[in-house]
Amino acid sequence: MPYPTDRERDRPWVIRTYAGHSSAEKTNELYRNNLSKGQTGLSVAFDLPTQTGYDPDDELAKGEVGKVGVPVSHIGDMRTLFDGIPMAEANTSMTINAPAMWLLALYVAVAEEQAEQSGLDYSEVRAKLAGTTQNDIVKEYLSRGTYVFPPAPSLRLITDMVAWSVTEIPKWNPINICSYHLQEAGATPTQELAYALSTAIAVLDSVRDSGQVPEEKFGDVVGRISFFVNAGLRFVEEMCKMRALGRLWDEITRERYGVENPKQRRLRYGVQVNSLGLTEAQPENNVQRIVLEMLAVTLSKDARARAVQLPAWNEALGLPRPWDQQWALRMQQVLAYETDLLEYEDLFEGSVVVEAKVSELVEGARAEIDRVQEMGGAVAAVESGYMKGELVSSLAEYRREMEAGTRVVVGVNSYETTEPSPLQAEGAGAIFTVDPETERAAIASIQQWRADRDADAVESALSALRDAAKTDGNLMQVSIDAAKAGVTTGEWAGALREVFGEFRAPTGVSAAAATGEAATEIGTVRDRVRATGDELGERLRLLVGKPGLDGHSNGAEQVAVRARDVGFEVIYQGIRLTPTQIVSAAVQEGVHAVGLSVLSGSHLEVVPAVVQGLKDQGAGDVPVVVGGIIPPEDEKHLRENGVAAVFTPKDYQLTDMMDELVTLIRTANGLS
């Protein structure tokens, strides 16, 4: 920004890969390697304990440490993560939400250390820090599940971060309004636009009403709001969606907030294309999916992403290897540097077809934004369950279309004949696996960290944090002080849990019902469920559980909806449960089967714990089934250890899954 107005090439977007695993040391090595290959920005993936405010030795962290990202438990980890990477010169995106303030505090504290070591004034370094904290808690309640605190204090943390950042680190984007996960949770383009913009309105209203930013500086706040979006395969519609988002954002910031400067009203967004849309079946098809989705957010100059990160072709199988990530990086580089895309003005200006679609999306989004505002805004629409229910219903409809074949997914429900893939010839070697020693090393490391630090300084910092949280004062600087004192991620979040409490978001499962083509098949299975219940003398009960910290609950919710539709009594308590809690609920409710959903790679730790727990409670005959991203070798191991069935993304027919579940229940109960 601003774009050239002649025929000179537009500057490329920031090229990133979303990365992090095992430990800060190994991730630092990965980052240096990626930067040497031409990556121009860093995108930090944190592990689930870090994302949800737990230390590696917490009970809920078992099996999750270092799996989907890097554990950052204290300032020492952040130092290691950016060792040899000048933070004043980096452009860093951090996908972090509930503890976003804490990770930004650690980042700033380490940047100040780097400044001191280089003989620079720390205020100069602060002024140069560039990057983004995702920090969008609303979509966490709706889709991704890494929330910690209730909506009101969560919004307070966001407000404090935005107000502090605008003054102290003016090049930083303190929030990334994130519609990415809304699409993965089922949002239509209209819902994606409306709910993302409703979140932006809630944040801007909160910052304005807090009084922390002078009225004349509010344009600076608007100018630092960025977006992070999803690009699906309907790439013409996706491109139009981005043009619609730009039009709506300009309208809202001008009319609602009175921002006159067009540069401050300009839409700034980054993108990752649809990871959950990648398929386990014929995964080589994911390469063309990724490229086509990338085109959706790069073809249109007037609505072009300013940062792009792409998943790897094999993410539906497990964690990608460095080579897989390199392939995704090269896709961007070929488009940016070999093609003539960046040499032209907008390709779609004046298109009647594009304008009609953009107008349709704008009008639909305006109507849904108005509906949310009438409810009291985004936070109220979360607390009431309205937005979650709408997303679950949309995703249920999508799945019904896929099951009926009216929505084609190549290699999954159509064109399924295939040759053996040489890309998977290595078997388990075709994906990256995290060494089990990683968790043990992280636990030993944090215990040593606690033993070596100044305990009095830590307690003083935590006391100051708790005291400040009870006032309406800004919590950013007191968090930086806590970081420098050696406070851990779990301690920072724990102190705020004491003051703010915790929250369990509505699941939305009650919102969806079976309709359309799938209704006949559902009726057949419903008859089996009813007949089996009659033979057992009670209604069949299924517990759907999300063990560990994996908050991607879309699959579990759809299983719960379909199970209810075929006649099961469904017990679904939402995300973030220990194996002990799941076992207790299963025994207390007297369920006939347990279904576990795990997408984070922790299945080999948390699933056997549930199976053993049921045996210990005298319920070992209750069949346990598992769904998630589970490699074939792990599936074999789970079955050998008592799991009755394993379902992966290739098993998209939910009604068939329910039918198999009935068969397992009949077998377990000695019925023919």
Q: Which residues carry out catalysis? A: 18, 180-181, 546, 550, 552
Q: 444, 319 in Cβ contact below 8 A?
A: no
CB atoms within 10 A of CB 18: 21
- Both structure tokens of 120: 């620079």
CA torsion, ordered 613, 617, 622, 623, to nearest 10 deg? 10
Give the relative orientation of helices 189-210 and 151-168 as an angle to the nearest 10 degrees: 70
- C-alpha 81/C-alpha 150 separation (Å) is 30
- C-alpha 120/C-alpha 137 separation (Å) is 35
- C-alpha 542/C-alpha 592 separation (Å) is 6
- C-alpha 557/C-alpha 566 separation (Å) is 14
DSSP 301: G
**SS in 3 state form for 408-462?**
CCECCCECCCCCCCHHHCCHHHHCECCCCHHHHHHHHHHHHHHHHCCHHHHHHHH
- Both structure tokens of 290: 């990724």
Q: 565, 513 in Cβ contact below 8 A?
A: yes
Query: Got the DSSP string for 522-556?
Result: HHHHHHHHHHHHHHHTS--EEEEE-BTT----HHH
Q: Which helix (H) or strand (E) holds 380?
A: helix 378-383
SS3 225: strand
DSSP 336: I
Can you list the alpha helix ranges (DSSP code H) found in 129-234? Answer: 137-139, 151-168, 180-184, 189-210, 218-223
- C-alpha 105/C-alpha 364 separation (Å) is 39
Query: Got the DSSP string for 593-618?
Result: EEEEEE-SS-HHHHHHHHHHHHHHTT
- For residue 320, the number of C-alpha atoms closer than 13 Å in the C-beta half-sphere is 23
Helix, strand and coil in the chain, % to nearest 5: 55, 10, 35
Can you list the alpha helix ranges (DSSP code H) found in 224-319? Answer: 235-255, 262-265, 285-296
User: Which residue(s) pair with 273 in the sheet?
Assistant: 231
Query: Got the DSSP string for 608-664?
Result: HHHHHHHHHTT-TTS-EEEEES--HHHHHHHHHTT--EEE-TT---HHHHHHHHHHH
Among candidate residues 38, 26, 631, 71, the one with its CA nearest the CA of residue 314: 631
- Both structure tokens of 144: 């991704």
- For residue 246, the number of C-alpha atoms closer than 13 Å in the C-beta half-sphere is 21
